[in-house]
């Protein structure tokens, strides 16, 4: 009995700490938005030299010589102004230093050097086909948690690394979109609509063996405030009854009010057709796309080897001063 009480108290303490951390992160984001809420008009690429100057003006221990313009552009697209992009770039570096196992420890976050990462990328839990976009041309991420078998030897960290790798590839696609913001009155909401990703998560067949509550805790902490990506909309189909309580807790801890408003539980696959042309979807969702995840992974491995991939992976190592 005493052991049960101690475990319960520890669980409550851990959840309290997580809630406080989540609220603190959301407060920091709200404060940052208040500083400079309007994106700078014009081509964001013209702001890259200014961002480089901003990141080194205070004597930060950062060397940007080997940080590509593409990498800096990701942060400008995320926050729309030089001060906010610089703030979030520093926040990303700090997160990388605090959680080096995601990108930087051995093996690094490269499918060509991590067999387990390669295996999980091929398991079809998360797929982001290059041809799959919503009706506004924004990239779409499809989730199918039933393919996440936590009993097959994979760890929580393995699943999180696979998710971050996939997000990193979606950032590349976002960076290839036009960068002009012609309206200086655009808000963060406007930017998310133009420059964010759409998530479609089909939870058909989800069971408890597919779920570990540590996974969303780690991912939300990693992505919110640290990862230069916007979420345009999130659509969840076929959610089982036991998912709702967990989602309510996690969203209260980590989602901003805007992100909660962009999250929709849908009852039929036809509802997603209002957002994504049906023929672009996977065959199981009424589309014509027969996606080969193994072939996609091999393409990414080749891009890693030939240097054509632009990844956040090199960000920390490249910014360390000799």
Cross-strand partners of 237: 202, 266
Instruction: State the residue for tokens 């309290």.
Output: 16
Listed in sequence order, the residues at least 6 apart from 208 whose beta carbon sits closer than 8 Å to its beta carbon are 242
Tens-digit pLDDT string for the chain (322 aa): 444 434 444 443 444 444 444 444 444 444 333 333 334 334 888 999 999 999 988 766 677 877 889 999 999 999 989 999 999 999 999 999 999 999 999 999 999 999 999 999 999 999 999 999 999 999 999 999 999 999 999 999 999 999 999 999 999 999 888 754 444 445 455 555 567 999 999 999 999 899 999 999 999 999 999 999 999 999 999 999 999 998 999 999 999 999 999 999 999 999 999 999 999 999 999 999 999 999 999 999 999 999 999 999 877 754 544 4
Listed in sequence order, the residues at least 6 apart from 47 whose beta carbon sits closer than 8 Å to its beta carbon are 40, 76, 82, 85
The residue count for the chain: 322
pLDDT digits (tens, 9 = 90+) for 28-41: 444 333 333 334 33
Nearest to 290, CA basis, from 140, 155, 125, 129: 129
Q: Residue ranges per domain, the chain?
A: 2-319
Assigned fold of 2-319: Phosphatidylinositol Transfer Protein Sec14p (3.40.525)
How far apart, in whole angstroms, are the C-alpha atoms of residue 183 and residue 132? 28
pTM of the model: 0.83
Residue 11: per-residue pLDDT: 44
Residue 194: per-residue pLDDT: 67
Cα of 259 vs its chain's centroid, Å: 13
């Amino acid at each position: 009995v005493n052991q049960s009480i101690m475990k319960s108290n520890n669980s409550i303490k851990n959840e309290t700490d997580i809630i406080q951390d989540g609220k603190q992160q959301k407060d920091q984001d709200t404060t940052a938005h208040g500083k400079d809420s309007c994106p700078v008009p014009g081509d964001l690429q013209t702001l890259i030299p200014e961002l480089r100057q901003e990141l080194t003006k205070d004597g930060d221990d950062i060397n940007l010589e080997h940080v590509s313009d593409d990498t800096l552009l990701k942060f400008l697209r995320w926050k729309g102004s030089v001060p906010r992009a610089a703030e979030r770039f520093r926040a990303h570096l700090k997160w990388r230093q605090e959680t080096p196992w995601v990108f930087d420890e051995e093996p690094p976050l490269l499918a060509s050097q991590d067999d387990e990462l390669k295996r999980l990328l091929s398991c079809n839990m998360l797929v982001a086909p290059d041809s799959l976009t919503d009706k506004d041309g924004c990239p779409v991420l499809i989730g199918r948690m039933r393919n996440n078998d936590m009993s097959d030897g994979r760890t929580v960290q393995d699943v999180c690394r696979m998710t971050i790798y996939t997000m990193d590839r979606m950032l590349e696609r976002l960076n290839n979109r036009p960068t002009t913001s012609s309206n200086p009155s655009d808000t963060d909401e406007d930017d998310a609509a133009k420059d964010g990703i759409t998530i479609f998560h089909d939870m058909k067949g989800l069971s408890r063996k597919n779920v570990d509550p540590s996974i969303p805790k780690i991912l939300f902490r990693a992505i919110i405030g640290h990862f230069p990506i916007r979420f345009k909309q999130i659509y969840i189909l076929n959610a089982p009854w036991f998912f709702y309580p967990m989602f309510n807790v996690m969203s209260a801890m980590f989602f901003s009010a805007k992100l909660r408003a962009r999250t929709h539980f849908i009852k039929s696959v036809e509802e997603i057709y209002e957002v994504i042309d049906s023929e672009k979807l996977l065959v199981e969702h009424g589309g014509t796309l027969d996606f080969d995840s193994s072939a996609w992974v091999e393409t990414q491995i080749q891009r890693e080897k030939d240097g054509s991939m632009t990844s956040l992976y090199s960000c920390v190592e490249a910014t360390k001063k000799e």
